[in-house]
Amino acid sequence: MDRNIAYCGLDCSACEAYIATVNDDECLRRKVAAEWSELNGADITPGMINCLGCRSDGPKTPYCESMCGIRKCGIAREYETCGECPDLGSCDKVAAVIRGNEAARKNLGMLGP
């Protein structure tokens, strides 16, 4: 499986934090930090916008590194992605991500090829 596919099925390489990191784009980091701060009601600084994907060995945003329950569960169960989990269809953790995201569902094997 592509290492840029997150445990939840999202494509990390499409995330603006990932794009800012691989391109070392400070302008994009500032933009993302401002948007995410407002969206989450939290103080997110441009320095926190460094991520190479949740399944990579590289840097991650603070949320992806230590707060994401989906990532924690996938690591604990030693799954490559949630697509390996027999409870995927009834999982409350991943439901919010896959409910409205056809690409994530496809990445987890929930849709045909």
Condensed to tens digits (0 to 9), the pLDDT of residues 36-76 reads 999 999 999 999 999 999 999 999 999 999 999 999 999 99
Tell me the mean pLDDT in the region 3-18: 95
Whether the pLDDT of residue 104 is over 80: the answer is yes
Residue 1 has what pLDDT?
Answer: 59
- The C-alpha angle 29, 95, 56, rounded to 5 degrees, equals 45
Q: Cα(21)–Cα(87) distance, rounded to whole angstroms?
A: 33
pLDDT band (50, 70, 90) for residue 10: very high
